[in-house]
Structure 1
């Protein structure tokens, strides 16, 4: 079980579903959310600023297509030296479209451990438990 998971998605229904499915499956003690990449980076900046690096998400469910800052842009920032103390977090891309170009691009980020299609399900979490366990 994870202590904390971060779900980054601009769709409030997807975020609510993420929280419900994760809670129901005892996959994580806490689920936090951000509505776009910029909001997620702000969260990490606050952790750093307030010296709460011990309370960091271990897993990130990331949507790719979001306003303000999308998933790819978030990843470019998050994998930079500026966020190196958080790079132990693993990322699972949750997208509504499985575009072969996106799949190829995802392979360039070692932090991405899987690319799954929405919505998140219990079966998906069981699969991830086995894969990461």
Structure 2
């Protein structure tokens, strides 16, 4: 069984989604990978898959692109934060970006995210996220 029951990729670039899905499958990170091409579609998927908090298709990890049409990563996070707490699953949200612009980095500091990574997603970056957010703590072992 994978470390994570379900991961949600949110990116408007089909090639990026294909490559990230392939990487996650090769690494056997998730039992299931959902894909959304914008923030609104991601919210819709969360609503559909997280109706029951114990659902195995409710994402535990969201890899969220910063810049997308229709609803970008920042707008997704604002909408996500405004939903009732019982509608939001316990999820680790990692912002993915190609930008290291100090303004963008500063904006990310105040967001309800677990961190951010620069694109492209790599085996090392995925392992870092897994170790930081999904490994059992030493006390639990």
TM beyond 0.5: yes
Cα RMSD (Å) of the superposition? 1.6
| Higher gyration radius (CA) | 2
Which 10-residue stretch deviates more, 34-43 or 95-104? 95-104
Q: Which residues in structure 2 correspond to 1:37-48 (within 5 Å)? A: 37-47=39-49
Q: Which structure 2 segments of 5+ residues have no match?
A: 136-141
The aligned counterpart of 1:81 is 83
Q: TM (normalized to structure 2)?
A: 0.84
Q: Give the one of 9, 12, 15 matched to 1:13.
A: 15
- Three-state SS of the structure 1 residue aligned to 2:84 is helix
Q: Give the one of 74, 88, 93 matched to 1:91.
A: 93
Q: TM (normalized to structure 1)?
A: 0.88
> Is residue 65 of structure 1 aligned with residue 37 of structure 2?
no
Q: How many pairs were matched up?
A: 130
Closer, same or farther: CA 43–83 of 1 in aligned 2, 3 Å: farther
Distance 1:84 1:100 in 2: 34
Distance 2:43 2:83 in 1: 13
Q: Which structure 1 segments of 5+ residues have no match?
A: none
Distance 1:74 1:57 in 2: 15
> Is residue 2 of structure 1 aligned with residue 4 of structure 2?
yes
- Whether the 8 Å CA contact 2:97–2:116 is kept in 1: the answer is yes
